[in-house]
Structure 1
Amino acid sequence: MTTEQEWAEERELFVASPSAASGPLAREFVALAENLMTASTVAEVLERVIHAAKAVIPGADLVSVTLRDPDDGFRTPVETDVLATRLDELQYALNEGPCVAATRKGGLGVVHAPDLLASPEFPRYGPPARELGAGGVLAVGLFPQGEAPRMGALNLYSLSTGVLDDTDRDVALVLAAHASTALATTQACAAADLEAAQLREALRSRDVIGQAKGILMERRGISADEAFDILRRTSQDLNVKLAQVAETLAGRRADL
């Protein structure tokens, strides 16, 4: 079994020289990278990241992810403990706290409050968060890297004060970079799939509209513009999509 001291030494080695690290932390990151490659949804990526963070950062008693909604609100889609969600939601309600601040910070996007009660940055959040059980918080902004506002943050909670340190911060930055890359790739793939489906549908609609126009031109001896105008007016009169009118016409060609 790996001792806490061995974990600490391995973490320091990884931060100093990732290529030189060959112990459990390095293996954990290799496994994370492989897992993220097979994640097909945003939820899968986030679940794998928070459990990896819990495994490689001993001081992180609770881990969660904050995501920014399109309307500039916040939500917590994944967490390792329901208390993490309660601590996150307190920040959202107060519009104050490390997780919220990390989404608004450029550069590395790190916000570290090792002792919430002694943190002058979060006077409204610190006391009630401490009452809930949180001692310190380390939050790292997710993608887009280096820009603000960010789309989310990786949140690490310690139940004791002064536990999360600079080495934890560096490891969290590596985790956040993994998460950001995987999330960006997943969302890009999803957007590309949607765009491809929409393009296929648009091409199919264009083809069937062309067929319907050809039928009308042949049967009525009219121009392409006149045929399209008939289809358009029929669509409006029946309150049916133009492509659907064209598909019905093309499908019943033998009946006309």
Structure 2
Amino acid sequence: MTLQEQELAAVFAQLAGAAARDPLDTQSLLATLVEGGRLLLDAPGATVHYAPGRESGRTEGTDPALRTLAGDAAQWREGPGYDVRTTGRALIDVDVSTPPMRARWPRWTARARSLGHGRITALPLPAKEGPGGALVLFGAPDSDLDEKALALARTFADAGAHTLALQREVVESRVLAGQLEHALTSRVVVEQAKGIVVARRGLSSDEAFAGLRSYARAHRRKVADVSRDIIDSRDVPGDW
């Protein structure tokens, strides 16, 4: 394996490692994504804007100035990251110093040029429901695009998008599992309380549940909370 191949393997391994962290950390994954993209394209810097679906957007950059630019651009709804994220179409080797680009992204272009960046390549990070984000790779004004490096960066961006999507699915699955567990626990508590009410008041199961629900509404409480009180006291409230 050559040194270049070793470095390439290391970049992809870092992406996989960031995705496997527990608890899941999307921001660390984005930081790995921008740094890996920068290395693959031998770019002076990189930013990412990731906002899949209706989620609030996240931004990251390879240095503090670019992190600030990425965050400001997301608020401005301007710049290559925003355009690629919303359209899903890549921008390859764009000279940001041209009049059309200055007119298209006035605030973003002025800031980027003040930081010494003259060319950009922005790659989409698709999400399951459509455009999810964009990886923006910066180049010097007189830099030449390396097609082989670009191909690797495209592959890396696709891998990053897939990894981010899998991470979202894991998070959503954990949230759903927690909700189901809570619902099941609440159901068990209510059933136990119903049994106590049936025994103490001689009611049917349906009548006991109706009483629980009516009492909870009258006291502006949850049925499960009232049920826990009944289980703890092993009795029915006196004002039932």
TM-score range, shorter chain: 0.7 to 0.9
2:41 maps to which of 57, 72, 88: 57
TM-score when normalising by structure 2: 0.82
Partner of 1:169: 150
Q: Aligned Cα RMSD in Å? A: 2.8
Taking a change above 3 Å as real, the CA distance of residues 52 and 197 of structure 1, as seen in their structure-2 partners, is: same
Letter in 2 for 1:95: R
Which 5+ residue runs of structure 1 have no aligned equivalent? Answer: 1-5, 11-22
2:195 maps to which of 205, 214, 219: 214
Is 2:169 the partner of 1:185? no
Percent identity of paired positions between Structure 1 and Structure 2: 26
Output the CA distance in 2 between the equivalents of 1:122 and 1:85: 21
1:131 maps to which of 111, 114, 119: 114
Output the CA distance in 1 between the equivalents of 2:52 and 2:12: 31
SS at match of 1:133: coil
Is 2:67 the partner of 1:115? no
Output the CA distance in 2 between the equivalents of 1:84 and 1:251: 57
Q: What does residue range 27-106 of structure 1 map to in structure 2 within 5 Å?
A: 27-39=9-21, 40-58=24-42, 60-68=43-51, 74-76=57-59, 78-89=60-71, 91-92=73-74, 94-106=76-88
Deviation at 1:89, TM superposition (A): 4.3
Partner of 1:16: none
Taking a change above 3 Å as real, the CA distance of residues 165 and 94 of structure 1, as seen in their structure-2 partners, is: farther
Output the CA distance in 1 between the equivalents of 2:65 and 2:71: 10
SS at match of 1:188: helix
Deviation at 1:41, TM superposition (A): 2.1
Number of residues of Structure 1 aligned to a counterpart in Structure 2: 231
Q: After the TM superposition, list the runs of 4 or more consecutive aligned residues in structure 1 that deviate by more than 4 angstroms.
A: 69-75
| Contact map agreement 1:110 1:141 (CA 8 A) in 2 | yes
Output the CA distance in 2 between the equivalents of 1:135 and 1:81: 17
| Contact map agreement 1:65 1:154 (CA 8 A) in 2 | yes
Deviation at 1:196, TM superposition (A): 0.7
Deviations 1:206-232 (A, max 9, x none): 011011111111211112221111111
Output the CA distance in 2 between the equivalents of 1:75 and 1:36: 16
SS at match of 2:103: coil
1:142 maps to which of 113, 120, 125: 125
